[in-house]
Structure 1
Amino acid sequence: MKTEEVGNALLETWTADEVAEAFARNEIVLIDVRTPQEYMFEHIEGALLMPMAFFRPEKLPGQGEKRIVFHCGSGARSERVARAAIASGMARVAHMEGGFGAWKGSHKPYIGTNMATGAPTPVG
């Protein structure tokens, strides 16, 4: 994990492996900031959807029991959202480096779309 001090806050950048391990142990809440269309086509099972266009940091839960980790397609949008969360007063925020592309590139399981039927299909 990489860390960067942003004022009095800490921005963490997690690898797909770190996210997968923490998610499997139920230590984090994974929030997908991609569009609803991207999410419906393929997503990490159990990740919550809060599209960047509708992001409201004041609506996020506290991080007392579970940490929040944002992710998007490549890591660019999730970093912007993480920085917006810090700007709203959150003291420690994380996002996944490389986004969903890194997750798929690491051969982690996800829900895809069966192109023949349009049905959600587990991949990996």
Structure 2
Amino acid sequence: MKTETVNGMPLETWTPQEVRAALQAGQIVLIDVRTPQEYMFEHIEGALLMPMSFFTPATLPGQESKRIVLHCGSGMRSDKVARRALEAGLPMIAHMEGGFGAWKAAGLPYTGTDMATGAPKPVTP
């Protein structure tokens, strides 16, 4: 995990492996900031959807017990959204380095779409 200071607060950048371990342990809330279409086509199991275009820091889940980790396709949008959340005064924000592309490149499981039926299907590379 990398950490930088933004407006006096830490912004953490997590690897896909760190995100997976924390998600499995129930330690984080993972929020996907991609579009609904991107999420519908493929997503990380357990991730909530809050598209960047509709992002409002005040509507994020409470952070009393779990850190919020944001992710997108490449890490660019989630970095921008994380910085907006920090500017709004939310202290426990992180984002996933490399986004969903890095998750897939690391061979981690996700939910994809069965192209023959259009139904969701687990993908375990």
- Normalised by the length of structure 2, the TM-score is 0.97
State the 1:92 CA deviation. 3.0
User: 2:27 and 2:91 mapped to 1: Cα distance?
Assistant: 18
Identity, % of aligned positions = 68
Equivalent position amino acid for 1:30 in 2: L
User: 1:61 and 1:98 mapped to 2: Cα distance?
Assistant: 23
Q: Secondary structure at the match of 1:12?
A: strand
Count matched residues: 124
Other-structure match for 2:76: 76
State the 1:62 CA deviation. 2.2
Superimposed CA distance per residue, residues 71-111 of structure 1 (whole angstroms, 9 cap, x where no aligned partner): 00000000000000011111231000000001001111100
User: 1:90 and 1:4 mapped to 2: Cα distance?
Assistant: 15
User: 2:51 and 2:113 mapped to 1: Cα distance?
Assistant: 20
Equivalent position amino acid for 1:42 in 2: E
- Normalised by the length of structure 1, the TM-score is 0.98
User: 2:60 and 2:7 mapped to 1: Cα distance?
Assistant: 20
User: 1:7 and 1:95 mapped to 2: Cα distance?
Assistant: 16
Other-structure match for 1:26: 26
Equivalent position amino acid for 1:116 in 2: A
> Is the Cα contact below 8 Å between 1:29 and 1:69 reproduced in 2?
yes
Runs of 5+ consecutive residues of structure 1 not aligned to the other structure = none
User: 1:9 and 1:122 mapped to 2: Cα distance?
Assistant: 37
Other-structure match for 1:103: 103
